Amino acid sequence: MTAPLLEVQGLRVEFPTRHGTLLALDNVSFDIAPGEVLGVVGESGAGKSVTGAAIIGLLDPPGRIAGGEIRLAGRRIDNLPPEQMRQVRGREVGAIFQDPLTSLNPLYTVGRQLIETIEAHLPLSRSEARERAIDLLRQTGIPAPEARIDQYPHQFSGGMRQRVVIALALAANPKLIVADEPTTALDVSIQAQIIGLLKTLCKEQGAAVMLVTHDMGVIAETCDRVAVMYAGRVAEIGPVQSVIHQPAHPYTAGLMGAIPAMDEDRERLLQIDGAMPRLNAIPSGCAFHPRCERAMPQCHEQRPELMLSGNSRAACWLHAEAGVQR
């Protein structure tokens, strides 16, 4: 078995406030293999973006990692000093956010931004770095890259800007790309192109991808495995086809609008009543129990860890007989 590229173990993220400490992530664990695309899905507030931000070392203050470990290619990165983490972020981990303008400086040409990133992380001369920048723009589908390299971000459309951001994220040949809702701000017609491009380029470079999205369509099209998050925890994780067609956790089943195969009488969960709990009011036991049609008495008191169910693992007492798995 290939060693994981990214290992997240027992990750705990807290946001201290005047009214107490909010627990945004609680004991989140997963890994990503080299070249693999892991989707992280859930409703707003589930903790998926916080997970991405913790991995790239860009948690919004006052958020802090309060427990657990993050390892990249075996090296622990959650406790690095800011300057070393900046190096990791440019060289080993690329980031793509929803709004391309977060990643691009409006005052510099896209070429300058690409060339500076390449020069900072790869041993190339200025002219070699410019060649690589043009090449990256070409690979990401920017027409006439020799001319467009000297233009400013505002001279590109939204879809083209996101292509530039992908080029920037890939500039230093990173091992891992963390992409947080990379296409949400774009036209539907452009979304599939950008996601397809991201996947192809990462496969070509052998880079692993963590794709954060609320869009199950994007997950189904793109990912090898998927982690479903709920209230700051992983509710279910497994191969994408298993999770979509045989969801093991009632929340996943509701999210898919699917028929849960684990259910003998094939009761249909058409929708999930209620809303994701606020961080200051996470229910005891299974955090999903107030919304779960299948909740049992123990669900109110005891928190389920991930348990084996078919090819997936789900944090749900319905699978207790299979035993708890890490």
Residue whose CB is less far from ligand SF4, 118 or 256? 256
In 3-state terms, what secondary structure has residue 233? strand
Q: Whole-number minimum distance, CB 224 to ligand SF4, in Å?
A: 25
Q: Would you tell me how many other CB atoms lie within 10 Å of the CB of residue 259? A: 14
Residue whose CB is less far from ligand SF4, 139 or 246? 246
- Read off the tokens for 99: 């709004």
For the chain, helix (H) and strand (E) counts, in that order, are 12, 12
Q: Evaluate whether 142 touches 163 at the Cβ level (below 8 Å).
A: yes
Q: Evaluate whether 110 touches 156 at the Cβ level (below 8 Å).
A: yes
- Read off the tokens for 309: 């169910």
For residues 137 and 131, what is the distance between their CA atoms, to the nearest angstrom? Answer: 10
Residue whose CB is less far from ligand SF4, 78 or 236? 236
Place of tokens 């491009």: 197
Q: Whole-number minimum distance, CB 314 to ligand SF4, in Å?
A: 8
Residue whose CB is less far from ligand SF4, 217 or 297? 297
Place of tokens 């999903």: 288
Q: Which residues contact 254 (CB under 8 A, 6 or more apart)?
A: 269, 271, 272, 291
Q: Whole-number minimum distance, CB 139 to ligand SF4, in Å?
A: 43
Residue whose CB is less far from ligand SF4, 197 or 296? 296
Q: Whole-number minimum distance, CB 316 to ligand SF4, in Å?
A: 3
Residues that bind ligand SF4 (CB under 6 A): 249-250, 286, 288-289, 292, 294-296, 299, 304, 316-318
- Is the alpha carbon torsion for 248, 253, 259, 264 positive or negative? positive
Residue whose CB is less far from ligand SF4, 97 or 317? 317
Q: Give 324's Cβ-side CA count (13 Å radius).
A: 5
Question: Of 233, 81, 256, whose CA–CA distance to 242 is shortest?
Answer: 256
Q: Whole-number minimum distance, CB 223 to ligand SF4, in Å?
A: 22
* CA quadruple 14, 16, 17, 22: dihedral, nearest 10: 30
Residue whose CB is less far from ligand SF4, 40 or 272? 272
Q: Whole-number minimum distance, CB 208 to ligand SF4, in Å?
A: 29
Q: Whole-number minimum distance, CB 52 to ligand SF4, in Å?
A: 24
For residues 2 and 177, what is the distance between their CA atoms, to the nearest angstrom? Answer: 18
Q: Whole-number minimum distance, CB 235 to ligand SF4, in Å?
A: 8
Residue whose CB is less far from ligand SF4, 85 or 296? 296
